[in-house]
Structure 1
């Protein structure tokens, strides 16, 4: 049955997703082109194109020039991670937030710094260590390297009152990011600041960001084992 005309790209996207989910359009089959869909839904081709782009990003369809659009044989959902601002994360839990800068040092990159951040040894890097609290309890130990070549104003920032992540989100836009999550035993320093034992596993998040080919930052965020990470797909 032909659905009523719609102009919202969300409504078009939802209807196409319904047809795929209910096997009206089977895996691997071609679906109607943009012009036909625009006529069916009473929408502009640009609106249909936007709906199809979102479905392609979600992994439900595959689009190829001069070939057309097919239902994906093996749909892969795309998980998106928003870079969290830890202060907002803690407040959202209903807890009081507190921030403490533990160390700040501009120095020449060691071999370990160079490998971690992706810069040449000897380049100036900014090394920061911070502790974030929720209701007075250690929530996250943050160990971060910043590349001043990509974020030069970082060398002018003291970070005594604002965490580097919050500052970077506003001051240093990135074009690419890499996330890693793992459980491991903490280093002695990490255990001491978090108030845990070195034999207690902790939850670790590592992230690197780039602006085109230039690395911006590499951060290691260590949480007590009670930490939970939730994402929506």
Structure 2
């Protein structure tokens, strides 16, 4: 990643967060200064400053003038829902992100999903299938339903150019939601992930709401090489 002028402060933040989690930057230890980090990533110090400031605000770093930036030994955190952005996750691992829109259609959602989101039978949803890549290899296969009544603008969005995960995070504010994780056979996702239908994969189910209005439900199947890292 050194010398990559396209690095954003979010990418740098996510990379540093991974280094904190894997103990490259151990608890209580100083991390490199802004100038050294900027030189590593080939970016401006202001970009690094913004990344470190965000991690400090989240309770992972202690920043003091003339004393440097230190990893907090026991960060005090509260449980929150943070919508994962797949591109950032892939790029934070030093891999090239890719994306393909595989299917797009408008219609009524399946009965099970209508019950979950409390939708009437005639409710129009946008159904999407997407494949996210890391260094050209399958990373995650996603099936998603978006409630058009709540997010009408997505009907005109170019989702072949920007993935629905990023579009919704940017354009559709939410008030609450939930995530569930479990393992199951790859099933219909196997062809996209390049594995057998009977192979177990990690599945994440996520739904978000704007007050009482449902926004989206996503079902994400991750490649078998995927490792889930959660911050506490």
Q: TM-score, normalised by structure 2?
A: 0.64
Counterpart residue number, 1:96: 96
Distance 2:84 2:199 in 1: 25
The 3-state SS of whatever aligns with 2:83 is coil
Gapped regions of structure 1 (runs ≥ 5): 1-53, 55-76
For these two proteins, the number of residue pairs brought into alignment is 158
Task: After TM superposition, give the deviation of residue 79 of structure 1 in Å.
Answer: 3.1
Distance 1:109 1:177 in 2: 19
* Bigger CA radius of gyration: 1
The 3-state SS of whatever aligns with 1:143 is strand
Counterpart residue number, 1:202: 201
Asked if 2 retains the 8 angstrom alpha-carbon contact of 1:79 and 1:231, the reply is no
Partner deviation per Cα, 1:179-232 (whole Å, 9 max, x = no partner): 100011112x20110001112100111100000011000000100222112122
Asked if 1 retains the 8 angstrom alpha-carbon contact of 2:141 and 2:221, the reply is yes
Partner deviation per Cα, 1:83-115 (whole Å, 9 max, x = no partner): 111111111110111100000001133423413
The 3-state SS of whatever aligns with 1:121 is coil
The 3-state SS of whatever aligns with 2:89 is helix
Asked if 2 retains the 8 angstrom alpha-carbon contact of 1:116 and 1:218, the reply is no
Counterpart residue number, 1:128: 128
Q: TM-score, normalised by structure 1?
A: 0.64
Partner deviation per Cα, 1:126-178 (whole Å, 9 max, x = no partner): 00000000011000001000001111101111301111010001110000011
Distance 2:215 2:89 in 1: 23
Asked if 2 retains the 8 angstrom alpha-carbon contact of 1:127 and 1:146, the reply is yes
Task: Mark the CA change 1:109 to 1:231 in structure 2 (over 3 Å): closer, same or farther.
Answer: closer
Gapped regions of structure 2 (runs ≥ 5): 1-57, 59-76
Q: Does 1:112 align with 2:112?
A: yes
Partner deviation per Cα, 1:15-71 (whole Å, 9 max, x = no partner): xxxxxxxxxxxxxxxxxxxxxxxxxxxxxxxxxxxxxxx9xxxxxxxxxxxxxxxxx
Asked if 1 retains the 8 angstrom alpha-carbon contact of 2:131 and 2:139, the reply is yes
Task: After TM superposition, give the deviation of residue 81 of structure 1 in Å.
Answer: 4.1
The 3-state SS of whatever aligns with 1:209 is strand
Counterpart residue number, 1:230: 229
Asked if 1 retains the 8 angstrom alpha-carbon contact of 2:96 and 2:135, the reply is yes
CA RMSD of aligned residues (A): 1.8
Counterpart residue number, 1:80: 80
Task: After TM superposition, give the deviation of residue 116 of structure 1 in Å.
Answer: 4.3
